[in-house]
A = this chain, B = another copy of it.
Amino acid sequence: MITSEQELTKETVTLFFQGLQDRICQSLEEADGTGRFREDSWERPGGGGGRSRILAGGSVIEKGGVGFSAVHGEATEATLRALQLMDRTDSALPTFYATGVSIVLHPRNPMVPIIHMNVRYFEMSTGHNWFGGGIDLTPHYVVDKDARWFHQSLKTVCDRHDPAYYTKFKPWADDYFYIPHRQETRGIGGIFFDYLKPTDTAHKADLFAFVQDVGNAFAPIYTHFMKQNRDLPFGEREKDWQLLRRGRYVEFNLVWDRGTKFGLETNGRTESILMSMPPQANWIYDFRTEAGSQEEKTVRQLQKGINWV
């Protein structure tokens, strides 16, 4: 139990994230049945490193990654711009420490949704420190009952910490996981938060407790969908649709995702950043859904501002 601001160090946060990666990988392997994660450890030339864990060819998960990293070093001008920290007056570049867990899972069965989760912590030598993160779900076919259950699960986590969190973080996810050039959301959203800094009422330990809760909620939420939907029947039509939806996922990640863009533009570890890519994605010129189809219903629900709870 952390009782004061001073005791919550970056080492404590880092250790939690490392353990979280372990526990999530174990839960996912259990739920998958046959798939096993292989680990790829890496070091960052500028300082720190990570453990990328990849599962390919599982019974439920076709391709997925659960990454942990803890990197540090001198913040470049590009980093400071990306972090909106250009107000510093000191001419020397500050040092940073960043640690987190990132997950994207692409299931084999189109009836199982794609999921993404990230929890992260930043600390700057200037004294700034903050948490960020989020979970969002991308069903290939939106099922109202499942969408409600997903959002209610996230709201329950949020409400345990601050009744204002879900109200604030749900629309933030709608805005963040949005594909402007398609005028649609990536999926049914979830929660997204960033620059969560200690205040008079929310101490750093309180914020950490929230982030821990978000991280711990991931495995129960996703294994629920894995177990519930893994054996649902599907045919060629549903598989083809899944491959097109994965194409949109690629478009979002490569064109719009701030984290991906920043990583690729600043010489980050490419394979770990692109762990989010699907095993296969397809494109068809100007594909139109059939009127009245499940595909059309799904696209109609890929909009901001739907209240699922």
Give A contacts to B, CB under 8 Å.
Answer: 40, 52, 54, 56, 63, 65, 180-182, 243, 247, 250-251, 254-255, 261, 264-265, 267-268, 270-271, 273-275, 277-286
Partner of A254, one of B243, B255, B280: B255
Asked if residues A285 and B271 are in contact (CB atoms below 8 Å), the reply is yes
Of the candidates B63, B255, B285, which one forms a contact with A285 in the assembled complex, judged by CB atoms under 8 Å apart? B63
C-alpha spacing A136/B117, complex, angstroms: 38
Most central of A181, A254, A273, A275 by chain B CB within 10 Å: A181
Given contacts A181-B264, A243-B280, A264-B181, contact A285 B254 (CB under 8 A): no
Per the bound structure, the CA–CA distance linking A278 and B243 in Å amounts to 12
Q: 7 shortest A-B CB distances, which residue pairs?
A: A254-B254, A277-B283, A181-B264, A54-B285, A271-B286, A181-B270, A280-B282
- Supposing A279-B283, A281-B281 touch, asked if A264 and B254 sit within 8 A by C-beta, the answer is no
Distance in angstroms from A23 CB to nearest chain B CB is 21
Most buried by B among A40, A264, A274, A285: A285
- CB of A286 within 8 A of CB of B254, answer no
